[in-house]
Structure 1
Amino acid sequence: MNLRNAFIAGAAKSGTTTLYYLLEQHPEVAVPAVKEPNYFSNIDNNEDPVKAGTGPGDDSTVWTRSQQEYHNLYRPSDKHTVKLDASVSYLYSTTAAEQIATYDPDSRIIIVLRNPTERAFSHYKHLLRDGRETEPFEEALALEQSRIDKGWEFSWHLTAMGMYSQQIQRYLDHFDAEQLHIITLKDIKNDLPDVISDITDFLGLSPFEYDLERQERNASGVARSWILSRMVNWVLGYKATINKIIPPKLSHKALQLFRSFNIKKGNLEISEDTRRELATTFKEDINKTESLIGRSLKGWLND
């Protein structure tokens, strides 16, 4: 079918899950059997940092191996006009922008940015939630490069994923600026009705009354049971197959229900020293990102 292709390309832990499940409500949007097919970051990517990894729980990530497999994840009908893919690996991937442009040069790309210090810490807590991380945050940061060298997947690239300027530039190299819609997590938190209305217009969808209270969030926390979390990670590796039998909404609800029982918030905060060090690490890239998107991000250095 002649559907417009739309991608929520990332960044991970920046509000992409909220946007995906709101857009899923729209009757003109076709969604896949899995939220993140990770197809376009999985084509000829030997040098790409986004690929199957060898770290704890890395086997839970779904990797779509062929275009036919990718198309089979969708069940579009006559009412659908947009095909949505929310694989957050696409922003960090060094090859996905080019692959998407080759697949459909008229694609629409949504990019959501977040204070990179907060994004790194949120992703760290995500790994804790899933029973994959066992080290304190500062130690995880110190181990990042060695984990990358060992071939652990992109979820462990806590600071590298927050260097947004090159990631955005790759999309500007392959798409017109009008095909990119760049917002921040703060936009989502401060004015969600306007954000989702603007995205609806950007994707060429009909006006729609979304249920803004029915949101899904990819919550982070500390796992009560490491063993149960790892069991869920193992199951997640088969979610593309499972969701061909069980509707994705039901399997997602079941997963969220389990996590609500298995997660405790914990007393997790970034120390002021670590926050200052990360702000220094990200400062130059934040300035470059500001220039690319034409928007002040100075608050990220002061939050």
Structure 2
Amino acid sequence: MTVAPPKVNFVVAGAQKSGTRALAHFLRQHPDIGLSIERLPEPHYFDKRYRHKDPPQYDAYHALFDAQDLSRVTGDVTPIYIFHPPSIERIKAYNPDMKVIVLLRDPVARAHSHWAMEHERGDEPRSFAFALLNEVRMYLMGKRRHRVISYLQRGFYAGQIAHLYDHFPKHQCLILRSDDLRKNHAKTLHLVHEFLEVPTADLPTPKTVHSRDYAPLPRWLDRVLRATFANDLRRLETLTGLDCSDWQRPQP
């Protein structure tokens, strides 16, 4: 009788700039949870490294994890997966029982943080407002789901979650607000541990991981963006049961 090799059994699939690095930091401290090798904290297997083979072969994927970790509850933290539809489909083909965690952030704050990261790297020379206009221009030209120029698109969560639910039953998905990890640290980690079916060990001390403050947006731009995301957020609330009302209110 052939014994199936152990598989990665959960992914933190997104969203980018929504606290996934912080969650990985906390999960890595749990004695019963393994993540990818530390030099590759985001494996990017199902979006970048995936190669179609028939029959599928996943040795290259498993090589991104310590062998001993694959015998534990093991996770892949790659926040682009939720934004990249083929990734969700490939994950389903790899492991239909995969558990999927998604952290979501106020889409306006997420877009601003995304732009700031790319601007500081030198990959985005435009101001935030002009970067958004450029993204709209590219979108209308058919250039969509760009890995960098997707400040707005990544924040339209409802369609991404609907696609996830098309491939995984809701009981295999845990959708969280990034605010909850920051403001309700213990309760949120308990929820994650329960979802992953691991004992709640001594919880790691709350810590801010890779965070910074930004100059506030001009009031007019904040209002325009909140109106832009409003309908999608209401659909997201219906899909997930999350309360996103504070993300719809203009910031003071």
Q: Under a length normalisation based on structure 2, what TM-score does the superposition of the two structures give?
A: 0.86
**TM alignment of 1:34-183, pairs within 5 A:** 34-42=40-48, 43=50, 67-77=58-68, 80-146=71-137, 153-183=146-176
Q: Which residue of 2 aligns with 1:297?
A: 244
Residues 94, 195 of structure 1: CA spacing in aligned structure 2 closer, same or farther, 3 A cutoff?
same
Q: 1:37 to 1:297 in 2, by over 3 A?
A: same
Q: Which residue of 2 aligns with 1:217?
A: 209
The number of aligned residues is 237
Counterpart for residue 282 of structure 1: 229
Corresponding residue number in structure 1 for 2:216: 269
Query: Paired residue for 1:246?
Result: none
Q: Is the 8 A contact 1:32 1:74 kept in 2?
A: yes
User: Deviation at 1:153?
Assistant: 3.8
- Identify the residue that residue 199 of structure 2 maps to in structure 1: 206
Task: Give, in whole Å, the separation in 2 of the partners of 1:21 and 1:181.
Answer: 18
- Pair 1:30-2:34 in alignment: yes
Contact 2:34/2:70, CA 8 A, preserved across alignment: no
RMSD: 2.3
Aligned-residue offset at 1:95: 1.4
Could you tell me which runs of 5 or more consecutive residues in structure 1 were left unpaired when the two chains were aligned.
Answer: 46-65, 221-264
- What CA deviation, in whole Å up to 9, does each residue of 1:104-155 have, x standing for no partner? 0111100111111111001111112323222211011111144566688423
- Matched to 2:159, the amino acid is Q
Q: Which consecutive segments of 4 or more residues in structure 1 shift more than 3 A?
A: 42-45, 145-153
Q: Which amino acid in 1 is paired with 2:152? A: T
For 2:125 and 2:183, locate their aligned partners in 1 and report how far apart those are by CA, in whole Å: 33
CA–CA separation in structure 2 for the residues paired with 1:179 and 1:150: 32
Q: Does the CA-based 8 Å contact 1:21-1:216 persist in structure 2?
A: no
Structure 2 regions of 5+ residues with no counterpart?
Answer: none
Q: Percent identity between the aligned chains? A: 27
Paired residue for 1:258? none
> What secondary structure sits across from 1:20 in the alignment?
helix
In structure 2, the partner of 1:57 is none
Whether the 8 Å contact between 2:84 and 2:145 is mirrored in structure 1 is no
Q: Which residue of 1 aligns with 2:12?
A: 8
TM-score by length of 1: 0.72
- Cα distance between partner residues in 1 of 2:107 and 2:222: 10
> 2:14 & 2:81 partners in 1: Cα distance?
7
In 2, the alpha carbon distance for the partners of 1:146 and 1:125 equals: 20
The verdict on how the C-alpha distance between 1:111 and 1:270 changes in structure 2, with shifts beyond 3 A counting, is same
Contact 2:34 2:69 in 1 (8 A): no
